[in-house]
Amino acid sequence: MTAIKRSMRRPRVRRIALVSTIAAAGLALAACGSNDDMGGMDHGSKSSASASATAGENPAPGAFNDADVTFAQMMIPHHEQAVQMAKLADDRAQDAEIKTLAGDIEKAQDPEIRTMKSWLKAWGKPESGSGMPGMPGMDHGSGSSDDSGMSGMMSDKDMKELEAAKGADFDKMFARMMIDHHNGAIDMAKDEQKNGRNATAKKLAADVVKNQTAEVKQLKLILEEL
């Protein structure tokens, strides 16, 4: 009977030891987490960003600051409107170059929207910043600006007019609006290059400046021929 009792106790002892080990590991992880959260205003690389990232690896590793967050929060809706404009070209544009360029804009900016959303999620920040004052220089674009204060954004009236246009009228309107829209994005990206801290965010900003500057030149050439 004594041997049987001892054999019955062993699994329970092992379970208790296992639970204790897991609990100890949990406490160790919690201690690491609390130390990592002492980031301050600079939002260092060991801030809550790593805890917020569900995919494991932080998509925008390293330190980040408020300019990086604002850049993503404002560029997401800016890109979304550009994609919306580009999609209208499918059944409204007449010029082949306009259709091709619209397709290129959609293909380039859709993934960038997803990328910037993943940054904000990893950084523990909302996708939109209510009442944001905007980044320095945000209103100095050459294009129009809607009520959001973002340079180059089309108003609801502008979008309705573009949606109602077809053929050559659409092509001209699309080219003019997208030039303004791109110039606004370029201004925002240059501000990020100057004021941002996160290397991944600044790299995307550099890509926006390079790619959209080239597209503005192309749109101006198309507009001259329409």
Total count of residues recorded for the chain = 226
How far apart (Å, rounded) are the C-alpha atoms in residues 145 and 133?
A: 15
How far apart (Å, rounded) are the C-alpha atoms in residues 194 and 197?
A: 9
Structure tokens at 21: 């080990």
Place of tokens 């406490």: 27
- The set of residues, in sequence order, having a beta carbon less than 8 Å from that of 142 and lying 6+ positions away, is 180, 183
User: Residue 49 has what pLDDT?
Assistant: 42
CATH topology of domain 66-225: Ferritin (1.20.1260)
With a cut of 50, which residues of the chain have pLDDT below it? 1-41, 45-55, 131-146
Structure tokens at 48: 């809550």
How far apart (Å, rounded) are the C-alpha atoms in residues 125 and 129?
A: 9
User: Residue 56 has what pLDDT?
Assistant: 62
User: Residue 128 has what pLDDT?
Assistant: 84
- Contact 117/127 with Cβ under 8 angstroms? yes
User: Residue 217 has what pLDDT?
Assistant: 98
User: Residue 186 has what pLDDT?
Assistant: 98
Burial class (CB in 10 A: 0-12, 13-18, 19+), 111: exposed
